[in-house]
Amino acid sequence: MKRMRPYALLGLFFFSAAAQAAPDALSAAREIDAVLEKDWKKHNVKGNPELDDTTFVRRIYLDVTGRIPTTREAETFMNSEAPDKRAKLIDHLLATEGYVQHSYNYWADVLRTQTNGNQAGPITGAAYSNFIKESLRQNKPYDQFVREMVAAQGESWDNGAIGYYMRDRGMPLDNMANTARVFLGTRVECAQCHNHPFDKWTQMQFFQMAAFTYPVQTNDYYGGSSEGARQMLRDREKAARDKFVMPVMNKKMTAEERAKAKRDAEQIGKQARLAGEAVRKENRYVEEALTDVRNLMRYTSVSFKDDRKLTLPHDYQYSDAKPRSRVEPATMFGHAAEVKPGETQLQAYARWMASKENDRFNKVIANRLWKRVFGLALIEPLDELMDSTVPMNAELQAHLEKLIVTLNYDMKAYLRVLYNTRAYQRQVTREEIAPGIVYHFTGPILRRMTAEQMWDSFVTLINPNPDMPNEPLREAFTNRILSAKKISDSMESLTAEEVLAGAEKSGQKYKVQAETVRDLQMKIAEARAKEDKETSNKLRDQLNKLQRETRTSVNQNLILPGMKKLAADLGVVPAVLQTDGKAGPQVVAATGGMDMMMASMADGDVKDKIFLPGYDTPRKTRDEEKAAQAAREEVWKEEAVYYGLSEKQQRDYFRVRAEQTRNWVRSAELESPAPRGHYLREFGQSDRETIENANHEASVPQALAMMNGQLMPQILSRHSQLMLTVSKAVYPDDKVEAIYKTVLSRKPTAKEKEIWMKAQDQGLTAMEDLVFSLLNTQQFIFIQ
C-alpha cells in the first residue's frame, strides 16, 4: 500500500529537504554559464531573457519526463516560495519513473528498439526494451551501458542486451556501421563498398573494424536436443540411401561389364535417391512439429564463433590486399583494442569503444545529451564527425567532454548540471538555425514536441496520475520472456531421442491434417479472388482451428513432457493452477500475448496449467489481489477527495480510473513502435527501421486524428484530469482559467480572455471548443 502512495501525491514531493540539487551540480552549471557568457561577449550577443516560472515548469516536465505537468504539479511548484525550487524540481523529476520513460523513448529511437518487429523478434525485442529501461532506472553509467551491448552474448532471457546485435540479425557489416555512427559519431557505411569519398576511411579499415564483431552469430534458434533430433532425421535419410550398395568397378572389367556396372550404378543411385526422398517426405511432418517449437524461441540467442572469419569481398579493388583474403581486426583510430588475459575479442572491442581515452566516444555522448537539453548539438550533424569538424564553441566542447568523463558517464548527473544552467533557464530562440550557421546557445532552441511527448501529454490530460506504472503491461513483457526461457529449458531437459519421439507423435497429426489444410488454403485463395469475404472468413476460422489442434498436439507431446522433466531435474513439484477434472495436467506455453502461434500453443484446448518456480510469475492470492486493489483505490480516493467528488460519486470514479489505467498509458509502456494507425504513428513516431527516424513535422492526418478519433472524447470526459480540474472551478471565468492552467500550465492573458469572449459572441460557447482550440495551438505543440 505504501508503494502506491507516491503516485497519489506525485507533485507534492519535490520540496522535501531530501530533494535538493547537489552543490557541485550548481557550481558546474555556473562554470558552463561562464564559458557561454565569455563566448557571447566575444561575439557581441546577449543571452535570451530569463524564463518565468510558468514556462519553466512546463518545459522542465516535457524535457525531463516527456509530458506536460498535471495542474496539481504545476500549482504545487508555483505556490512554493523556496528560493531554490527550480533546482529541487529538477532533482525530483530526474528521480521519477517519468525520466526513465522519456529517456527510453529517446534511446529506443537511437537504437531502433522494436518489441514487435521481425528482426529481433518479440522475445528478444521485449528483453532488449527491458534492458534499456532497467539500465536507465539504475542510472547505469553510459560507458557500462554501451559495453554491455557491444559485448553481449547469451540468451535474451538472461541478457537482454543481445538485442543490440539481434536488431541487425544477419547483417554484421551494417551493425558495425550503425555502431560507429551511434557511439562514435562516424559515418563509415560508404567504406563498405569503396574508400570513403569524403573522409579518410578506407574499405580495408571498414572491414578491419567489422572483423571484431563479424564472428557474432545471430542465426535462428536451434536448441541442443532439438538439433540432435534433426540430426537423427538426417541420419535416417542417409541410412535409407546407404542400404543400396553401388557396384564395384575396376580396370579388369571388360567394356561390356563396365557399361553394365554403370547402368546398374545409375539405377541403384536412382533407387537410393527415391528411398531418401521417401524418408525425407515422411520426416517433413516431424520437422514441422520441431519447427513449431523452434518458432516459440526464434531469435533469442547470440554467440561468438571464433572460427567465423571475415574476408574481403570478391570485387575488392585496392592494392593492399587480394579479394577474398582474410581480414584481421584493427581499430580505425585511437589506441589498439588489445585482448587482455581472460578477455574475449568482443570484450576487448567493447572496452576500446567505451574508453575514457576514446575522444570520439566522449564527444558524441557529451553532444547527444547537450542536444537533448538545448535542441542543437555543438557539432551538427552529430553523427558525421571528421578530423576537420569544428564545434560551434570549442572551449565549451572541451569543457563538456571533460565534465562527462569526470562524472564517470553519469548521464543523470550530467543532465542535472545542464538543466541548472542559466542558459537553459532562458527563453527559447525562435529563429531557425540553418545548417552551417554558428549558434551561441543564448537559450534552448524552440522545438516541436515529439510524437511520444504529444501522446504522453494527452495521456496526462486524461489520467490524473500518468506515471503510475501499468503492471499488467509490464508483466506481459516479463511473461513473454520467461515463457520462452521455460520452453527452452524444458526442451533442453529432454534427450534428442525423447524430442524425436514426441515430434513423431505430433507429426502424425500434421500428416493426417495436411491434405485438409491444403484444401482449405486453396478455397480461401479462391474466395479472396472472388472477394467473397464471408466465405473466406469462415474458411479461415476452420483453418485456424486445425492449426490450433496441431500446435496443441506439440504442446502435449513435447513441451509438457519437457516441463515435467525440468521440474523433476529442479527437484520441484509442479503446481497445477487450474483443473476442470476432465484432462491431465497441461502446460502454459506462453502468457502475455507474445504472438498468435504462442497464444495458440498456450490456449488451444489447454485446461490445466502447471506453475514452475522461477519461470512463471507467481499468481497473486485472493488476499494479495484484494490488497493490490485496495492500494489502487486508496490512490484513487485521495484523487477523488482532491477533486471534490462525493462518496456516492467515488464508485463510478474508481471504475473509470481502472479503465484509464488500462487504456491510456505512457508511450514507453506500449509496444515499440506503436502499430500503424495509432496516434503515436500519426504524430510522427519513428518506425525504428533507421537511426533517429522520427518525423517532427505537422501533417493533415494529425489534424484529422484530433478531430475524428477517440482522443478528444476521452480528454473531455467527466473524469479526465482536465475536466476534473475544470469541475472544481465554480464560475465561468475560473473554468476558463482552469483549462489554460491544465493545457498550457499558465493562466490566460487579458488578450486571450478577450478573444474567448468574442468567440462566445459568435457561437463558440462550449468549453469543449476552447479545449480543442488550445490543443491545436503552437503554444501547446511546441516546447517553449
C-alpha distance from residue 20 to each of 66, 87, 273, 369, 375 (Å): 22, 7, 79, 22, 26
Length of the chain: 784
Residue 762: pLDDT above 90?
A: no
Instruction: Report pLDDT for 577.
Output: 43
User: Could you write out the DSSP letters of every residue in 629-671?
Assistant: HHHHHHHHHHHHHHTT--HHHHHHHHHHHHHHHHHS--GGGS-
Mean pLDDT of 156-165: 96
645 found inside a domain? no
**306 vs 461, higher pLDDT:** 461
- Split into its structural domains, the chain has a count of 1
Say which amino acid occupies 304: F
Phi, psi dihedral angles at 288 (to 5 degrees): -60, -40
Looking at residue 609, what is its pLDDT? 59
pLDDT bin (cut points 50, 70, 90) of residue 249 is: confident
pLDDT of residue 312: 96
Query: Is position 393 within any domain?
Result: yes
493 in Cβ contact with 690 (< 8 Å): no
At residue 666, what is the residue type?
A: R
Out of 92-101, 268-277, 750-759, give the one with best mean pLDDT: 92-101
**Nearest of 341, 353, 315 to residue 151 by alpha carbon:** 353
With 60 as the cut, is the pLDDT of residue 37 above it? yes
Given a cut of 90, is residue 7 above it in pLDDT?
no
Per-residue model confidence as pLDDT tens digits over 300-315 = 999 999 889 999 999 9
- Is 359:234 a contact under the CB 8 Å cutoff? no
Angle between helices 647-663 and 622-642 (to 10 degrees): 110
Specify the DSSP class assigned to residue 155: E
Longest dimension (CA), the chain: 117
Average pLDDT over residues 527-534: 88
Cis peptide before 673 (omega within 30 of 0): yes
| 528 found inside a domain | no
For residue 674, tell me if it sits in a domain.
Answer: no
475 and 593 in contact (C-beta within 8 Å)? no
Predicted pLDDT of residue 226: 87
Beta bridge partners of 302: 154
Report the b/e string of 576-590 with b at 16+ CB within 10 A.
eeeeeeeeebbbbbb
Query: Residue range 406-411: average pLDDT?
Result: 97
Per-residue pLDDT band at 581 (split at 50, 70, 90): very low
Asked if residue 140 is part of any domain, the answer here is no
| Mean pLDDT for the stretch of residues 679-704 | 89
Phi-psi region of 21 (alpha: psi -120 to 50; beta: other; left: phi over 0): beta
Q: What are phi and psi of 362, to 5 degrees?
A: -65, -40
Of 70-84, 562-576, 589-603, 727-741, which range is least confident? 589-603
Q: What is the pLDDT of residue 595?
A: 42
In this predicted structure, what is the pLDDT of residue 606?
Answer: 36
Q: What is the pLDDT of residue 192?
A: 86
Task: Give the helix/strand (H/E) hosting 8.
Answer: helix 5-8
Mean pLDDT across 32-40: 97
pLDDT at 592: 37
Calculate the CA 638 to chain-centre distance.
34
Q: How confident is the model at residue 222 (pLDDT cuts 50, 70, 90)?
A: low
Q: Of 19-33, 163-177, 565-579, where does mean pLDDT reach its minimum?
A: 565-579
pLDDT band at 223 (very low <50, low <70, confident <90, very high): low
Residue 82 lies inside a defined structural domain of this protein: yes
Q: Is the pLDDT of residue 117 over 50?
A: yes
Q: What is the pLDDT of residue 14?
A: 46
Backbone angles phi, psi at 279, to 5 degrees: -65, -40
Contact call for residues 685 and 453 (beta carbons, < 8 A): no
Residue with cell 532497467: 134
**75-89, 381-395, 759-773, range with the lowest pLDDT:** 759-773
Rounded CA-CA distance 61/78 in Å is 14
Q: Is residue 718 part of a domain?
A: no
Residue 203 lies in a domain: no
What does the mean pLDDT of the chain come to?
Answer: 88
The predicted pLDDT at position 439 comes to 96
Contact 524, 306 (CB under 8 A): no
pLDDT for 416: 98
689-699, pLDDT tens digit by residue? 999 999 988 88
Cα–Cα distance between 184 and 150 in angstroms, integer?
13
Alpha carbons 283 and 235: distance in angstroms, whole number: 11
More confident residue, 582 or 155: 155
pLDDT band at 167; cut points 50, 70, 90: very high
How big is the CA angle at 668 (ends 665 and 671), to the nearest 5 degrees?
Answer: 90
Domain range for 71: 2-95+358-448
Q: For residue 592, give the nearest of 167, 158, 127 by alpha carbon.
A: 127
Instruction: Name the pLDDT band for 409 (thresholds 50, 70, 90).
Output: very high
Q: CA 372, CA 293: separation in Å to the nearest integer?
A: 44
pLDDT at 5 over 70: no
